[in-house]
């Protein structure tokens, strides 16, 4: 089954593992930028978005191990409770892998409607671990980043598919 946002006659090239690693590291670096003020409140979790994208598009290449390692790196870099992002990204990877065929069949608008609840689930897992560890509830503005990440889904899909586009023949 072809995703509806790809032309039916278009066949994508295989993705290179180095490109997947590059995108995951780039997402981690973007997450670690010194965000402040309104941008900090509106910042989506780029690592979660990248892990979810690759779990949906390449479930045989990116899965629980990659999600767990990215989560541990986020925990160390963020200075947060060790394992909270690892657990959340593992749940995210599981959900992405389970739903990958379904999400790929939808139009981009419908994909966004599936991605937002998955990202909200990721935020809920992180919030549950933080709350169990004694942190205060940050308010409902904590979930705004998931909606912004969902709105970024079409752009991310377009950008991450560019290297897979076949070269057009020179005539």
Residues 137-166, mean pLDDT to the nearest whole number:
94
Condensed to tens digits (0 to 9), the pLDDT of residues 112-142 reads: 999 999 999 999 999 999 999 999 989 888 9
Condensed to tens digits (0 to 9), the pLDDT of residues 34-61 reads: 988 888 889 999 999 999 999 999 999 9
What percent of the chain is modeled with pLDDT above 70?
94
Taking alpha carbons only, the member of 125, 95, 124, 100 closest to residue 111 is 100
Inform me whether the pLDDT recorded for 159 exceeds 90.
Answer: yes
Taking alpha carbons only, the member of 57, 68, 145 closest to residue 99 is 57
At 166 the pLDDT is: 86
At 5 the pLDDT is: 57
Taking alpha carbons only, the member of 168, 148, 146, 165 closest to residue 19 is 165
User: How far apart, in whole angstroms, are the C-alpha atoms of residue 147 and residue 36?
Assistant: 19
> Higher confidence at residue 79 or residue 18?
18
User: How far apart, in whole angstroms, are the C-alpha atoms of residue 7 and residue 3?
Assistant: 8
For the chain, which residues make up each domain, given as ranges? 17-164
User: How far apart, in whole angstroms, are the C-alpha atoms of residue 88 and residue 155?
Assistant: 23
Give burial (CB, 10 Å; 0-12/13-18/19+) of 160. Answer: middle
Torsions phi, psi for 160 (to 5 deg): -80, -15
């Amino acid at each position: 089954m072809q995703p509806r946002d790809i032309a039916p006659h278009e066949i994508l090239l295989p993705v290179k593992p180095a490109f997947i690693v590059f995108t995951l590291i780039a997402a981690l670096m973007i997450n670690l930028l010194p965000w402040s003020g309104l941008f900090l409140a509106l910042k989506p979790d780029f690592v979660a978005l990248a892990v979810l994208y690759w779990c949906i598009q390449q479930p045989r290449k990116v899965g629980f191990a990659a999600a767990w390692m990215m989560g541990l790196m986020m925990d160390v870099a963020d200075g947060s409770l060790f394992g909270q992002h690892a657990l959340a990204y593992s749940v995210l990877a599981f959900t992405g892998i389970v739903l990958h065929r379904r999400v790929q069949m939808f139009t981009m608008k419908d994909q966004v409607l599936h991605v937002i609840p998955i990202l909200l689930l990721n935020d809920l897992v992180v919030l549950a671990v933080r709350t169990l560890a004694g942190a205060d509830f940050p308010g409902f503005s904590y979930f705004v980043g998931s909606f912004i990440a969902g709105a970024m889904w079409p752009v991310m899909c377009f950008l991450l598919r560019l290297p897979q586009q076949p070269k057009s023949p020179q005539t």
